[in-house]
Amino acid sequence: MKRVVVTGVGAVTPIGIGKEEFWKNIKSGVCGIDTISRFDASAFDCQIAAEVKDFDPAVFMDKKEAKRMDLFVQYAVASAKMAVEDANLNIEQENPERMGCIIGSGIGGIHTTCEQHARLLEKGPGKVSPFMIPMMISNMAVGQVSILFHCKGVNMTCVSACASGTDAIGQAFLAVQRGDADVILAGGTEATIEELSLAGFSSMKALSTRNATPKDACSPFDKERDGFVMGEGSGILVLEEMEHAKARGAHIIAEVVGYGSTNDAYHMTAPAPDGEGGARCMAKAVENAGINPSDIDYINAHGTSTPYNDKYETAAIKAVFGDHAYKLAVSSTKSMTGHMLGAAGAVEGIITALAIEEGFLPPTINYKNPDPECDLDYVANQGRDAEITYALSNSLGFGGHNASIILKKYMD
């Protein structure tokens, strides 16, 4: 089997655009959640979200092309460009048939869907844009990124709700490991902070309603947690066959060594009791990596700040890791970024890779009230330095989807 390494990352997030700004703010515990500014949310139970600020698509792409892309695609293109630049990857020197692209998105182009539906009702079918379909379909992030970088090899879209981004990285890892590609641009993207999405999640009673204190609203593993906060953005990683990366003198951030994927087969939205499906997923990832559970030093948890998710994910970690669960560090960076849905696992994969490279445990901010059922080391409120050899990142999605990836400190 080929070894697979991460050689570049790019991110568009509510707490920064680009690796440097984003990672600096993760380390500092900066929160990107605030009152929604994109539309008037005063009639909604939830009026807060983690919006991407100061994103100018013209910085990353032609203005005319940008107008033919939904926001979720723009985010993916921008992240991919930054990842390729970070990897110092010369596209002209790569064999396009050995380059792939796998990007997840849970919902796709909902901005375009809502905008064009309104136009249909107001002006009639003749006024619906001919670009509507290629703008709103979920695979168009992969489509546009592949066109931009001539990725003619392995190519797919993962749609597994909030596990989409992690599944995309996992599938890319397996493809490079098998020898199907030399390089794959992998990750996730989402842009769902829109009235219909907010109304739908609000009707489910899934969202936090701490509208008066948005910076404190997302409090994973805290006893007073009351729901997740919608986020948006994109994360793309350059996954590369190790010898290919070494041959071109690439800087290697971390190594990908394991992937697990399971389903609860239990409920449309609720996790299986005690996190049974998530536990099996983590165990599969550990087995796939060929390591022992006690080798894991850090877990970037799904940690949504919902009552059931945090309780059951904690139970799942205990089931897999036993006594070692109390020795490893666990944090939820959604406390800062909000829940980026299909992009969450990709952005958290980037965080996990950078945490390993730098030897730093990102914090879970807003942790104030310990919950007896959530009693692990959640790196409360302030990050800290630590040697990390192996780290695991979890994503759990509606429909019972579970995905886990394991990254390792790179050693030749």
Positions marked catalytic: 162, 302, 339
- Give the integer Cα–Cα distance in Å for 353 and 240: 14
- Give the integer Cα–Cα distance in Å for 157 and 176: 16
The answer to whether the beta carbons of residues 73 and 189 sit under 8 Å apart is yes
The answer to whether the beta carbons of residues 366 and 218 sit under 8 Å apart is yes
- Give the integer Cα–Cα distance in Å for 52 and 148: 23
Helix (H, G, I), strand (E, B) or coil at 284: helix
- Give the integer Cα–Cα distance in Å for 388 and 100: 29
- Which residue type is seen at 157? T
- Measure the CA dihedral 310/363/344/273, to 10°: -10
What Å distances lie between residue 171 and 8, 14, 293, CA to CA? 17, 26, 22
Contacts of 291 (CB under 8 A, 6+ apart): 257, 258, 390, 406
Residue 26 has φ and ψ, to the nearest 5°, of: -60, -50
Helices (H) and strands (E) in the chain, counts: 13, 15
3-state helix, strand, coil in the chain (%, to 5): 40, 25, 35
- Give the integer Cα–Cα distance in Å for 100 and 89: 14
